[in-house]
Amino acid sequence: MKLDYKALQPDIETWLKSFPAELSENPLVGQSRAAKAFGDSLQQHGTYSNIYALFSPGILKRDVLNAYFNEHQWEYSSWYDWVYMANPKDALRPVAVNIPSGSAESFLEAVWAFINLPKDNREEAYKEITQTYDTHKLRDYMQQIRDVAPEDIQGEQLASILVAHEHPAPYYYCDRVTEERLFGHIGVQAIEGTVRSELHLIEPGLIHKANGGVLAIEVAELLEDIKLWKRLKNVIECSELEWSAAKPDSGTAFFYRPEPVPVNLKVILLGSRNEYAQLREYDEDFDHFFPFLADFHGHYATQNEPVAPYFDYLNYVWQIADVLPLSQSGYAGLLKVCARYTDYQQELTLNSVRLLQVLREANSCALERQQTEIDKQAIDDALQQQRDREGNLAELSRRSILEQQVRIDTHGEAIGQLNGLTVVTMGGSEFGEPSRITATIHYGDGDIIDIERKSDLSGNIHTKGVMILSAYLANQFARYAPLSVSATVVFEQSYYEVDGDSASLGELCCLLSALANIPLKQSLAITGAVDQFGNVQSIGAVNEKIEGYYALCKERGLNGEQGVIIPVSNKHQLNLNEEVIDAVKQGNFHIYAVAHVEEALEILSSCRADNFFQKVKENTLEDDESGQPIGFWRRLFS
């Protein structure tokens, strides 16, 4: 099936018709599944209801969290100020006391005034303090100092504020994960040769600051020191945070042990899918503590969601990019980019970082032309600049073909030879290029010899692909009698490992051409995987492969015969650049989509598939008068 030029990119005009009358900023567009996971977790209380937030590359985590927690909060949030009070019984065991949020300073003033009152005049002040700052720990502490005089307080300080919440944050964020930053620490000081700790040297960590609310932690740095994960798990499980003990050589500071702080916390771990898998594999209890998976994916599926909200997402990216406004054609160009980044015609990217980079570079292009808006031309110029920066390897590869250092034929016909489409990923660059596949036959017992495998240049998936096409040939032609020939297949002038099964369709067509002794068109390149029944299956990087072969054909001169053959299942992934689309529109380049190897053979050879297969049978199997099969070579030399 030859594809029309309109099928080579998304239907952007239809998307533009959904442009809303008013735009808002929304980084949460398309993330309803993850938002629901957040909501379900935030409705629960307890140790076993925390969240693992899985973020695809390019999503700005802080913006997503800010947008969500601006509208939502944990239903069981309970904010308190925490202070450490001198223990009248043991100066080395400060007491942790919680009081209503925002009242730490007034509480300390009230307590200081209380202990300076005569013991006989404290009853009224005692009742006022316990009623004003009514918590269980406060009542316990006030009972301890009810009859304590100022001179009975050991140490140099009465109290130190650990955490004070005037206006608690919707959530707290820990990116640079260290033991001190997450769990806090107790400092030491040397006075007259004695190393010791005091109340004012107790420094809170983010767990203390977020206590009573939500704490988001980056997993990547947490996993760099697995001891941090173990300690965090212990805090979640025990619902309290104990202070790390000082080193034994730290003098009296070693014996300074403030009371552990009770912890009521909702924890959100932020990371990738690989880190999620690592934690699950490392700790069998991980799923117990983090049962809610919030998957912030990188694609917006327009076949399932309306397009209009996506423009709110683009407006959010535009706002943080701080660039010129987009014109109508600018939005069209940007939407094409958004779809290209997903490799699907019906999906749009949610990779904010990549879009941010495109917009800022397009803004520079527009300013160079003294424009007041970013139009499609500015978007195209920005993309071309990116291709130019990354295109050195592709140009060197193409030059080696043009100079015939690497042989690739783009015209004429040949038996047992075909151009396969491959993609090269190297040093951050990814580009498509053709590779010459050849096949030869010889007398044998039907084996297919993969030269790449014999020379240890075949990856596991490529080896599997060759085995599958061998099974197809056996099923098609040797069901009742063995083939009398064997064949070899190879990627010519390939000096690196070949992997993937996307060349198996090309290899199969080459083998069939050699077996049938029928030539194939060299102006066409092919890509696709096959199954044991000859059905053509989808492959990756289809746009890069097509554009790479087109670039070579353009350099040599388009003659109206060149083109590519791709799996029909890849049709909805097509999003080619304007130059290729225009060449297809003008009839100078062609793109065919096939569902079965027979369709590919008919396009490559202009020969009906049944006639093609009959030639294969004639050249490999024939019954003589005795009813026994004789082969191609016996017939040839008889």
Candidates 528, 600, 603; CA nearest to 561 is 603
* Measured distance CA(237)–CA(350) in Å, rounded: 35
Return d(Cα 365, Cα 379) in angstroms, integer: 8
pLDDT of res. 636: 47
Q: Which helix (H) or strand (E) holds 533?
A: none
* Secondary structure (3-state) at 247: coil
Residue with tokens 């800022």, as numbered in its chain: 360
Helices (H), 418-503: 451-454, 460-477
- The answer to whether the beta carbons of residues 438 and 490 sit under 8 Å apart is yes
Residue 252 pLDDT exceeds 60: no
What's the token pair of residue 343? 């490799």
pLDDT at 379 over 50: yes
Domains of the chain in start order, with CATH, are 8-25+299-390 (1.10.8.60), 32-78+168-296 (3.40.50.300), 80-167 (no CATH), 400-629 (3.30.230.10)
Q: Determine what percent of the chain is predicted with pLDDT higher than 70.
A: 94
Phi–psi pair at 16, nearest 5 degrees: -65, -25
pLDDT for 454 equals 74
Distance of alpha carbon 437 from alpha carbon 441, whole angstroms: 14
- Dihedral sign computed on CA atoms, order 121, 127, 133, 137: positive
CA distance 417 to 509: 9
Residue of 103, 502, 569, 605 marked catalytic? 502
- Note the pLDDT of residue 625: 47
pLDDT of residue 626: 45
Helices 328-340, 308-321: axis angle to 10 degrees equals: 100
**Backbone φ, ψ for residue 194 (5° rounding):** -105, 125
Report whether 149 contacts 112 (CB < 8 A).
no
- Helix, coil or strand: residue 576: coil
Angle between helices 352-368 and 376-390 (to 10 degrees): 110
Neighbours of 629 (CB within 10 A): 17
* 466 — pLDDT class (breaks 50, 70, 90): confident
Would you say 157 and 199 are in contact if contact means Cβ atoms under 8 Å apart?
Answer: yes
Q: To which H or E segment does residue 535 belong? A: none
Picking from 590, 413, 612, 433, the residue whose alpha carbon sits closest to that of residue 508 is: 612
Dihedral pair phi/psi, residue 594, rounded to 5°: -125, 155
Task: Respond yes or no: is residue 545 known to be catalytic.
Answer: yes
Which pLDDT score, from 0 to 100, does residue 632 have?
Answer: 47
Q: Are 351 and 58 in contact (CB under 8 A)?
A: yes
Better pLDDT: 636 or 276 = 276
C-alpha to C-alpha distances, 297 to 54, 86, 347, nearest whole angstrom? 8, 50, 12
Pair type for strands 485-491 and 448-450: parallel
179, burial (CB in 10 Å: exposed 0-12, middle 13-18, buried 19+): middle
Encoding tokens for residue 446? 């039907």
State the Cα–Cα distance between residues 45 and 47, nearest whole angstrom.
7
- Give the residue among 546, 561, 554 at the shortest CA–CA distance from 411: 561
Tokens of 233: 């798990």
Q: What is the pLDDT of residues 9-46, one digit of tens each?
A: 999 999 999 999 999 999 999 999 999 999 999 999 87
pLDDT given for residue 194 in this prediction: 63
Strands 214-218 and 266-271: parallel
Residue 371 and residue 378 in contact, taking contact as beta carbons nearer than 8 Å: yes
Average pLDDT over residues 71-83: 93
| Residue 209 known to be catalytic | no
Dump pLDDT digits (tens) for 617-628: 888 765 544 444
- If you average pLDDT over residues 159-175, what whole number do you get? 91
Q: Diameter of the chain by CA atoms?
A: 128
What is the residue type of 272?
S
The terminus-to-terminus CA distance of the chain in angstroms comes to: 43
* Burial per residue of 18-51, b for 16 or more beta-carbon CB atoms within 10 angstroms, e otherwise: eeeeeeebbbbbbbeebbebbeebbeeeeeebbb
- One-letter amino acid at 408 equals I
DSSP 181-222: HHH-EE--EEETTEEE--GGGEE--HHHHHTTSEEEEEHHHH
Average pLDDT rounded to a whole number, residues 192-202: 74
Predicted pLDDT of residue 246: 63
Per annotation, catalytic residue among 336, 376, 521, 545: 545
pLDDT digits (tens, 9 = 90+) for 550-569: 999 999 999 999 999 999 99
Q: Where are the alpha helices (DSSP H) in 369-417?
A: 376-390, 392-402
Confidence grade of residue 633 (pLDDT, cut at 50, 70, 90) = very low
For residue 248, what pLDDT is reported? Answer: 59
- Residue 581 — pLDDT band, cuts 50, 70, 90? very high
229: left (phi over 0), alpha (psi -120 to 50) or beta: alpha
pLDDT in tens, 287-343: 999 999 999 999 999 999 999 999 999 999 999 999 999 999 999 999 999 999 999
Q: Is the pLDDT of residue 376 over 60?
A: yes
Helix (H), strand (E), coil (C) string for 44-90: CCCCCCCEEEEECCCCCHHHHHHHHHCCCCCCCCCCEEEEEECCCCC
How much is the pTM? 0.87
- Mean pLDDT computed over 154-162: 83
Contact present, 573 and 601 (Cβ < 8 Å): no
Give yes or no for residue 224 having a pLDDT over 80.
yes
| pLDDT, tens only, 486-533 | 888 888 887 677 777 888 999 999 999 999 999 999 999 999 999 999
Q: What percent of the chain has pLDDT over 90?
A: 70
Decide: 509 and 468 in contact? Cβ < 8 Å: no
Distance between CA atoms of residues 441 and 54, nearest Å: 52
Query: Would you place residue 447 in the very low, low, confident or very high pLDDT band (cuts 50, 70, 90)?
Result: confident
pLDDT surpassing 90 at residue 461: no
Angle between helices 226-238 and 273-282 (to 10 degrees): 70
Alpha-carbon distance of 32 to 278, in angstroms, equals 26
Mean pLDDT (the chain) is 89
- Report yes or no: 257 and 308 within 8 Å, Cβ to Cβ: no
Highest mean pLDDT among 408-417, 428-437, 461-470: 408-417
- Quick check: 190 pLDDT over 70? no
> Which pLDDT value is given to residue 475?
85
Amino acid at residue number 261 = V
The pLDDT value recorded for residue 114 is 92
Pairwise CA distance, residues 101 & 168, whole Å: 9
Could you tell me which of 124, 132, 143, 125 has the C-alpha nearest to residue 100? 132
